[in-house]
Amino acid sequence: MTGVKDLMHKVTHIRSPSGSRPTSPTAQPTSPTGSRPSSTISPAPSADGTASPRPTAPAEDMTPRMKENGELETKSEVKKRVAAEKKEKLKQEKEAARLKKEAAEKAAREAADVDYSADKYGKLPLVQSTERTGIVRTQFVNLSEANVGQDVTFRARLQTSRAQGAKMVFLVFRQQNHTIQALVQVEPELVSKKMVRFAESINPESIVLVEGTVQKPLEPVKSCTVQDAEIKIKTLRIISEAPNLLPFSMADALRPADSAEGATVALDTRLDNRILDLRTITNQSIFKMSSGVCNLFREYLNSQGFVEIHTPKLQGAATESGSSVFKVSYFKGNAYLAQSPQLAKQMCIAADMEKVYEIAPVFRAEDSNTHRHMTEFMGLDMEMAFEEHYHEVMETIDGMLKSIFAGLKQRYADDIAVVQKQFPHEDFTFLDETLVLHYTDAIKLLQEAGVQQGTPPAPIGDHDDMSTSTEKALGVIVKEKYKTDYYIIDKFPIALRPFYTMPDPTNPLLSNSYDFFMRGEEILSGAQRLHDAPMLEERMRAVGINPDDMKSYVDGFRLGAPPHAGGGIGLERVVMLFLKLNNIRRASLFPRDPKRLEP
Amino acid sequence: MTGVKDLMHKVTHIRSPSGSRPTSPTAQPTSPTGSRPSSTISPAPSADGTASPRPTAPAEDMTPRMKENGELETKSEVKKRVAAEKKEKLKQEKEAARLKKEAAEKAAREAADVDYSADKYGKLPLVQSTERTGIVRTQFVNLSEANVGQDVTFRARLQTSRAQGAKMVFLVFRQQNHTIQALVQVEPELVSKKMVRFAESINPESIVLVEGTVQKPLEPVKSCTVQDAEIKIKTLRIISEAPNLLPFSMADALRPADSAEGATVALDTRLDNRILDLRTITNQSIFKMSSGVCNLFREYLNSQGFVEIHTPKLQGAATESGSSVFKVSYFKGNAYLAQSPQLAKQMCIAADMEKVYEIAPVFRAEDSNTHRHMTEFMGLDMEMAFEEHYHEVMETIDGMLKSIFAGLKQRYADDIAVVQKQFPHEDFTFLDETLVLHYTDAIKLLQEAGVQQGTPPAPIGDHDDMSTSTEKALGVIVKEKYKTDYYIIDKFPIALRPFYTMPDPTNPLLSNSYDFFMRGEEILSGAQRLHDAPMLEERMRAVGINPDDMKSYVDGFRLGAPPHAGGGIGLERVVMLFLKLNNIRRASLFPRDPKRLEP
């Protein structure tokens, strides 16, 4: 068995000499190559390096892997997995040998046939920008019964193929998160048996260029997103060929994690082969929505007069403390990666920018291996000068978040439905008037429900910090009582907040700060900040920070600054919690954690 | 003389006991404190550490500084500067002493006066969010003659004050890039002499809360952005106080670099005190426009079906070569900062995302100390699958850039005018149909004009790289001949482009690549990429890169990828060149270069 890379080397790329290269869709294609089993091979998440362009582990890899819940496999789980992997590998090898033999026999049998459609299929030469025919390429999203009878040309991925006898093959083509059924059927002088066999032999995930006619299917195609139209194929050519064996099939990749209907793909396997994984319609929808969150965030804040800023990620000093920061070699010295734009965005307020936001990566050198931590994630930060009360800002943030939730539901209803098939969940609910709980009232709810935390478990004190599981318990209580997945907790104990937080004017134990929650998990933390330099310096010294170490920051307030407040959302958390993806890595294109820097 | 920090410590912050704190605008203010010279002190860029919250250098700092042109000062220039700085310091100290004496005398003279407006001015207690009166705060941008007679309340910076006799003082207030004139005039039972003196004594750059009446000025106020209305002040209170002496005055900061009319502020001094510098109306306009460029970029690409992506800046390997990369300590190993999203955005194309863009910081560990290089800047990147020809993508980029230029001119005409006062320049010109020059034709233009480059200077060969000064010379030739500041050069020699560039199909010495220029400087570099894995590997080996070192990237193409092309703009370059700011640091909030990591 050969690795994908080697297979790819054997693929012949016909390139004509410079200047005489035929490239239009009607150019003479090269003869069909390769063969493929007529049924889709859907190996379970395989540890077989030879079948994977990015092997996740050798066949006998006894290293414990991370499971869905963030824990490592136990020894016995590892043994079980390795045994299963070995068995699967043997099975695949046998199957591949059998199929190869069959294909060779078939090819021999039919070598004598006359092929009257030899110019209608095959492999195209490399697209090197030689010509522009301007022929319009159709998008599936625009196709329906209304187009029946029309001739169309399109580029798409082949998702699956299924032969029906020797004279017909059904194909499913995919463009991002839209799929359509097509068929190649023997027809005298138009479609030869060889063309049908070629269609059947194309490796799934290859990119093809198709000409065909839109027709009405015999019955609605339930397995495709376009259900009331299908394509009768006239020409079929390969633009870019996928390998014979993929790390996993699209069908497996689309099954919910707990599916009983077939193999599923482990998260680590997906992330190791992220490019393939990202092609599922689920992921196409997730990242369309992730893009949507950013657009909605900006649209709302732009409408409120905010200005977008870009602050440096390279810092001269390791600031803000709390989380650890990454150290960077910077010419002959060192720099540090910003763990948030906190200081810089406040400096923009001191610089009269009034209302600012930033969407940028933030970096955390924390060795946290959980479902909700990454070392690099996207911060959607905002900061705003206010006139009288920090609730002006809290209400702006609330308006922004509600606008995001409503916008997602309105613009991405189809995508939410797609994701729900793989990640079943109740629709995200929020109230027109957001629930704002005083911190002490939130604690009271927990106390009344008998929630305990710590080791050994104990009742929660009025000014105690809430653990992640306590926060989740509160989410359940709130959902039950107030029918909402979204709420605010206001007035956190000052001891739990960073040094730059403004104390409450009436209770010195509390502060003018708030957290925003989705489904019982915190997505935004914010507060009124200290805008008075002497007070800020006093607080810094109290927590052991030398104000001179953050001179530029403190200087901003010495030069006069307006009262201000703000906050920051984690983009991936919002997407994960809105869609209940259960692991933050699923909301990041190429996630980074203490153990993963690739791909 | 006391440092600003110490001065600030002496400021009394009156805080009433919890629960009984008066905070509404009508609350009893504390008595006026401090005195200020009646004429504005506008020190030249001062090396006097005591006068600056962020001293740029001690009085005798003999370290050569960077000049406007990116070169360091010569020894004699340093001596000259230090001497001037000493003289200036002495002058300032004398002036300060004189003014202090005068103020003390005045205060003594007038101590016996009755103050009937004691409750109408002074310093407000710290804004700690105690109360919400809901009184609407006015924005200058909405004020004009139409509002005459109305009572208004607003928060603003005091920009300047100018006494006219003992009974009247003119103030200029600023809100971001809008200014308005106001006056405090003695009036029996309403405005006392003491209140006028208080108004005169407020340090410029302090933030104040003002109640007043809009009235028509005697003549249009040419020095303010609101020219047909002024404010007659009824109450005047300090929200946040600026120090007695600033690193430089707003008036100096607003003068063009070559102004003969008064002191100007050196770039390094500005950057050392960036928060103060950013408050100039020029900078407020520059960064509003910078935010506008990003909005226009996204609006255009969103309308073309693009999706926003966020790719990791932490990379497992130092890739792409060419520019150097920063090394990061990553737990027990190392990571590297992405020098562009090139590889990741192409991987998104292989993952079927079709049309993607990203706005994110990029990092370059190049020790380049020029007017156009920074170690961290904002990349506006895009990548797009195409059907037949990379010109589909080149035209999309062209459409996007023209939409940015047109949008800036349309939405930011006032801001462009503001910036032009400090940075005089001809309006940026571009054609409806963009000029596209073939590389060899561009070279021909240079050859015909007799442009030479290199040491010793020599005529330019057909496939030679163009130096920065050659590119500028071409910009002048093109402007002369085609009347445009914006054009494209297509078909660069393959030898000058990165390994992932698609060769030209007819001339093996050329490539399917392009650069976009503004005023003779490159702002975008892009190309059709190699989407065929074997071809890509061949090119990697040819330039000495082991394909295994960039496995995730190459794997994407092994799994089948559509033909695609793209490019990336440098945000700060676009802003710098559109507004002719002459130094890229002026287009970055907090610029980073080999010598600067602060503020």
Q: In angstroms, rounded to a whole number, what is the distance separating the alpha carbons of residues B376 and B369?
A: 13
* B320 — pLDDT class (breaks 50, 70, 90): low
The Cβ-side half-sphere exposure at A163, using a 13 Å CA radius, reads: 19
Active site residue A372: yes
Distances (CA, A) of A365 to A106, A335, B126, B317: 58, 14, 36, 18
Interface residue of A158, A174, A275, A342 to substitute, partner B, most B CBs within 10 Å = A275
Check whether B11 has a pLDDT greater than 60: no
Query: Does the pLDDT at position A572 exceed 80?
Result: yes
Give the mutation candidate from B386, B494, B539, B590 for the A interface (greatest A CB count, under 10 A).
B590
What stretch of H or E contains A122? strand A121-123
Strand pairing category for A168-175 and A151-163: antiparallel
Helix (H) or strand (E) holding B371: none
Residue A23's SS3 state is coil
For tokens 């069908």, the residue is A251
With contact defined as beta carbons under 8 Å apart, do B481 and B400 qualify? no
Give the pLDDT mean for B4-32. 38
DSSP B489: E
pLDDT top residue among A15 and A259: A259
Tokens of A98: 């059998």
Q: If you write DSSP's letter for every residue of A128-195 in order, what string do you get? A: -S-----PPPPPGGG-SGGGTT-EEEEEEEEEEEEE-SSSEEEEEEEETTEEEEEEEE-BTTTB-HHH
Could you give the CA distance from residue B167 to residue B506 in angstroms, rounded to a whole number? 83
N residues, chain A: 599
Q: How confident is the model at residue A112 (pLDDT cuts 50, 70, 90)?
A: low
Per-residue pLDDT tens digits for A198-250: 999 999 999 999 999 999 999 999 999 999 999 999 999 999 999 999 999 99
Q: How far apart are CA A138 and CA A140, in angstroms?
A: 6
Q: A359: left (phi > 0), else alpha (psi -120 to 50), else beta?
A: beta
Q: What share of chain A is helix, strand, coil (3-state, %, to 5)?
A: 35, 20, 45
Q: Report the DSSP beta bridge partners of residue A156.
A: A208
Percent of chain A with pLDDT over 70: 88
The closest of A61, A128, A116 to A268, measured between CA atoms, is A61
Euclidean distance between CA atoms A68 and B91, whole angstroms: 71
DSSP structure class, residue A40: P
A522 noted as active-site residue: yes
B164 touches chain A (CB under 8 A): no
CA distances from B144 to B11, B147, B153, B213 (A): 37, 6, 15, 12
pLDDT, position B481? 95
Question: Does the structure show a pLDDT above 50 at B325?
Answer: yes
- Across B380-395, average pLDDT: 97
> Are the CB atoms for B358 and B345 separated by under 8 Å?
yes
Nearest by CB to residue A559, choosing from B23, B275, B288, is: B275
Residues 514 to 573 of B: which have CB under 8 A from any A CB? 528, 531-535, 551-553, 555-563, 571
pLDDT > 90: percent of chain A: 69
Over residues B142-194, the pLDDT tens digits come to 999 999 999 999 999 999 999 998 899 999 999 999 999 999 999 988 999 99
Q: What confidence score (pLDDT) does residue B258 get? A: 81
Active-site annotation holds for A65: no
**Residue B582 region by backbone torsions, left for phi larger than 0, else alpha for psi between -120 and 50, else beta:** left
Query: Is B155 within 8 Å of A387 when comparing Cβ atoms?
Result: yes
Residue A366: active-site member? yes
CA angle B491, B494, B499 (to 5 degrees): 125
pLDDT for position B65 = 78
Instruction: With beta carbons less than 8 A apart as the criterion, state whether A318 and A343 touch.
Output: no
- Please tell me the distance in Å from B175's CA to the nearest CA on chain A: 8
User: Which one from A270, A573, A585, A586 is the annotated catalytic residue?
Assistant: A573
Query: Does pLDDT of B218 surpass 80?
Result: yes
Give me A449's structure tokens: 């429900």
Q: Do B311 and A207 touch (CB under 8 A)?
A: no
Average pLDDT over residues B370-391: 96
3-state secondary structure A186-223: CECCCECHHHHHHHHHCCCCCEEEEEEEEECCCCCCCC
d(CA B41, CA B263): 11
Among candidate residues B205, B230, B522, B537, the one labeled active-site is B522
Enumerate helices (H) and strands (E) in chain B, giving the number of each.
Answer: 15, 19
**Superfamily name and number for B284-435+484-586:** Bira Bifunctional Protein; Domain 2 (3.30.930.10)
Chain A window 337-356: which residues touch B at a Cβ cutoff of 8 Å? 337, 344, 347-348, 350-354
On the question of pLDDT at B526 being above 70, the answer is yes
Considering the four listed CATH numbers 2.40.50.140, 3.30.70.2860, 3.30.200.20, 3.50.50.60, the one that applies to the domain covering A121-245 is 2.40.50.140
Would you place residue A21 in the very low, low, confident or very high pLDDT band (cuts 50, 70, 90)? Answer: very low
Pair A183, A232: CB distance under 8 Å: yes
CA angle A477, A481, A486 (to 5 degrees): 75
A332 part of contact set with chain B, CB < 8 Å: no
Nearest Cα residue to A43 out of A96, A99, A104, A102: A96
DSSP A475: H
Query: Any catalytic annotation for residue B411?
Result: no
Task: Count Cβ atoms below 10 Å from residue B69 Cβ, excluding itself.
Answer: 9
Residues of A with Cβ-Cβ distance to B315 under 8 angstroms: 597
Residue-wise pLDDT tens digits, A132-175: 999 999 999 999 999 999 999 999 999 999 999 889 999 999 99
| Residue type (1 letter), A300 | Y
Q: How far is CA A212 from CA A190, A236, A569, B8, in A?
A: 12, 9, 47, 78
Domain boundaries, chain A: 121-245, 251-279, 284-435+484-586
Asked if B13's CB is within 8 angstroms of A528's CB, the reply is: no
Contact B293, B404 (CB under 8 A): yes
d(CA B15, CA B499): 66
